[in-house]
Amino acid sequence: MRLLESVPNVSEGRDRTVVDAIASAFGGAGARVLDVHLDADHNRAVITLLGDEHALEEGLVAGIREAARRIDLRRHEGVHPRVGAADVVPVVPLAPDDRPRAVSLAEGVAHRVGSELGLPVFLYGGVGAGHRPSFFRRGGTEELDRRIAAAELEPDHGPARLDPRSGAVLVGVRAPLVAFNLALDGSVELARQVAAAVRESSGGLRGVQALGLGLRDGVAQVSTNLVEVDATPLHALVERIAAEVRSRGARIGAGELVGLVPAECVVSAATAHGVARPFDAHGLPTEAALDAAAGAFRLERLAADRVLDWHVRRWGT
């Protein structure tokens, strides 16, 4: 059976012990924990999982339970928008034929989180009404609570009230995406201007979501999700951000890959930068391709195990 991916995001990025306990719960039924990315400024962890339906369903319910037990949103501070301790829980089909399985898994997890854990669940993306997480996050937990109380929104599963400690859970189905951040030496306002210039919703690049954020050390950041990797190559997004920053008289800093990256993004960047043979005999990026992509993405290094396909080939059936 082909494997599915899931990339739950939880609202803790500073306490490694807490995140490790949550990640262990996610992987406790047999799913592979491929990557755990902590960000102290965002106060968020992104955990990448690979497994069959049973391992992922049991693991996702257990991990959401552990996140709700260990994270108190009333004490949470961080620059990333969120509405839940286990904020978003996407299921990702790795091939088009796997989409029905992903939908069934997401719906099963959502039902169990609502009925067994007593948390309100909203469906997004390829299930439910198709909204993006930002539809539910705007205004934060207070605004979401108001919208529920005013009957503007109704959870798809669970109680029609927001848990003050754990918030809500957004469960969805989506295609593989890339979460990528770029630092710059300008102000937060400049980062917001650049984010507006590159995101699709304000006339920028197709498939790009972007926010301008200020980090604790005074660095500004353009935080992006590339949700259509076929529409806008990652290296093209990085080049566009750099151009927008330079046009405003500032300098671009280092890139940050959050989680894993599909091989096609690496190969596309390598090809654009002159690598003649970016694939090896197994269809994975070569060392030359990884090095070229690291330069294009403004990363110090891009290891083979940061490529999603490397894990799929290793663990897939």
Torsions phi, psi for 87 (to 5 deg): -75, -60
Instruction: Record the tokens describing residue 194, joined without a space.
Output: 């650049």
Apex CA 101: angle with CA 264 and CA 305, to 5°?
A: 35
For residues 278 and 267, what is the distance between their CA atoms, to the nearest angstrom? 6
The CB-side HSE value for 173 (13 A sphere, CA atoms) comes to: 23
Where would I find the beta strands (DSSP E) of 174-274? 178-184, 208-214, 220-226, 252-258
> Of 87-91, 214-218, 257-261, which range is least confident?
214-218
Catalytic residues: 80
Q: What pLDDT, on a 0 to 100 scale, did the predictor assign at position 153? A: 96
Q: What is the pLDDT confidence band of residue 1, given thresholds at 50, 70 and 90?
A: low
For residues 116 and 248, what is the distance between their CA atoms, to the nearest angstrom? 51
Residue 89 has pLDDT above 60, yes or no: yes
pTM of the model: 0.94
| Contact criterion met (CB below 8 Å) for 128 and 102 | no
pLDDT of 147-205, one tens digit each?
999 999 999 999 999 999 999 999 999 999 999 999 999 999 999 999 999 999 999 99
Per-residue pLDDT, averaged over 25-45, amounts to 96
Q: What pLDDT, on a 0 to 100 scale, did the predictor assign at position 216? A: 79
**What percentage of residues in the chain have a pLDDT greater than 90?**
95
Q: Which amino acid is at 97?
A: D
Residue 312 has pLDDT above 80, yes or no: yes
Q: What pLDDT, on a 0 to 100 scale, did the predictor assign at position 317? A: 56
Q: What is the dihedral of CA 50, 52, 57, 60, to 10 degrees?
A: -10
Per-residue pLDDT, averaged over 253-259, amounts to 97
* Structural domains in the chain plus CATH codes: 4-173 (3.30.990.10), 178-315 (3.30.70.670)
